[in-house]
Amino acid sequence: MFCPRCGRPLEGGEQFCPGCGNPLAPALSEATAPPGPPELPALLTTPELVMVRDREGGWVTFRFEDGSGRILGATRAEPGFPLHYTLLDDEHRPILHLDGVRERGLQYTYRILGPDGGLLASLAPQTSVLSRKYGVSVGGQPSLLLATNATGSDYALTTEPGGATVATGAGSGLLHARTAVTVAGEASVDRRIVLGAMILAGYFTTPRRT
């Protein structure tokens, strides 16, 4: 950075040139330069992920890896039933929260919450607690459908109505402990809702839930 009048090198942040005293425009001050947009964590931008189900201290946990095995984020389980999870990125910053709310009998609604606790979406079985289909409401309106196959190894998140694929999961390994998650490139759904739905799909089909 240089003074536009005398050409003296500037360190940035000065209001006047130390050489000629020329007032410097705000554009020459690093302190007044507008900040660029924050960089999103890789967890919210990588289209191909592997979700790994594990157990930690008696709790079912999930972590996300990229194709090279680098961990991009993981859930932290918190005491509660049916579930209380916080998803953290690779720098341990909260991305979302998940919890279950008992409605009546054995009927539960599952909520995807932002880091600040604001509601992003809610999921509910479409028929009963044994249903393999879950309606996803965004802004109070039915928007997506989460469906798993009979064994819980494969599942898909699609728009409702329309049926356009937002994301898919394909399980492998012992008891489908590893799931290849693919997020559609043209999907306009909040990525946090997609990740929350994938975790919930894994949770719903985990043997001996905690």
CATH number of the domain at 170, please: 2.40.160.200
The confidence score (pLDDT) of residue 162 equals: 76
Q: Do the domain assignments include residue 167? A: yes
d(CA 175, CA 170): 12
Q: Is pLDDT above 50 for 28?
A: no
Q: Do the domain assignments include residue 1? A: no
Q: What is the DSSP letter of 191?
A: H
3-state secondary structure at position 60: strand
CB crowding 74-98: b at 16 or more within 10 Å, else e: bbebeeeeebbbbbbbeeeeebbbb
The number of domains in the chain is 1
What's at 201, amino acid-wise? A
Q: Is pLDDT above 80 for 66?
A: yes
Q: Which domain holds residue 99?
A: 42-204
Q: Do the domain assignments include residue 25? A: no
Residue 59 or residue 74, greater confidence: 74
Q: Tell me the average pLDDT of the chain.
A: 84
The confidence score (pLDDT) of residue 153 equals: 85
